[in-house]
Amino acid sequence: MCEGYGVKSVRDAESVSEHLRSSRPDLVLLDLYLDRPDGWEVLRDIKRQDPYLPIIIFTAYDSYMDDPRLSQADGYVIKSIDLDELKQKIADVLMRKSAPQGKVEAKSHLPQFSAAHGFGKAYPECR
């Protein structure tokens, strides 16, 4: 548990699809720097599997901010020691997901998100 969210971390790209089928998270944090396949391929595969699953790109690089492939993602946050921006983006995306047509509904379950990340992560692991 981290900041009131249930968190499951997936360390390799190959296990992402299997994990998503078995856990059905509310949101995915995706690092673009993954071993084969790369993060862009994982993003595309997740959206094929569930086009409505929100994905926030969480990366150490700002060089992707103008990449047209980001249109498939619901947010982009550059890794930092200060996690306030990430926390706010997660809250915003989950609120939009649970509020069809602008109506906010209370959820009866703990929101779950999955984090697929590569090497050199610059954020604390939540347990």
Convert the pLDDT of each residue in 77-103 to its tens digit.
Answer: 999 888 899 999 998 998 887 766 544
Q: Say what the pTM is.
A: 0.74
Per CATH, domain 6-116 is 3.40.50.2300? yes
Domain range annotation of the chain: 6-116
Predicted confidence (pLDDT) at residue 55 exceeds the cutoff of 90: yes
DSSP state string for 26-76: SEEEE-S--SSSPHHHHHHHHHHH-TTS-EEEEES-STTTT-GGGGGSSEE
